[in-house]
Amino acid sequence: MSQSRLNLIAGCCAQGMKKVQLEMGGKNPMVVTARADIDLAVGVCLNGNFFSTGQRCTASSRRIVDERVQPEFTDRLVAAMGTLRIGDPLDPVTQIDPVVSEVRLSGNLDYVRLAGEEGCEVIGGRHLNRPGSFQAPALFLGARNDLRVAREERRPARSRDR
């Protein structure tokens, strides 16, 4: 999008005091540095990853984690993913809703398979055996820039770079 178009959008929003969030497409990364508060970083990443089941254009689907904190961050992120409540979107305790359709779920599951074939360690991502299009959250460890799962936009799976 051109700068003039962004300025036009920003100006229109500002005139009406509208909230706006713009995204640039792609793998919307989150960076976790060695100085990060790991608990805070895990919480922010969970929200960025899985809010709205990750089915929104502003979902963050890539982690760039300093190698000095990578093991601790990954352990805590995986543990937190395991506590997410998956279920009925009308239930206020639900944190992850169903995938929008069976077709999308099938595509997501194919992508999880592809991540493993490309050499990522895949954590989660399985189809949940319950009525509806439910999938466990997924994390791909060891994603490199030359892999499709690191380049293509696909949700609700997330990757973390080496």
Please report the pLDDT score of residue 17 as a whole number.
79
Q: What is the pTM of this model?
A: 0.77
Are 71 and 162 in contact by the 8 Å Cβ rule? The answer is no
Q: What is the mean pLDDT of residues 89-117?
A: 91
- Is residue 75 over pLDDT 90? yes
Q: What is the mean pLDDT of residues 117-122?
A: 96
- Is residue 160 over pLDDT 60? no
CA distance 128 to 131: 9
Are 120 and 158 in contact by the 8 Å Cβ rule? The answer is no
Residue among 65, 155, 57 at smallest CA distance from 104: 155
Q: What is the mean pLDDT of residues 8-26?
A: 75
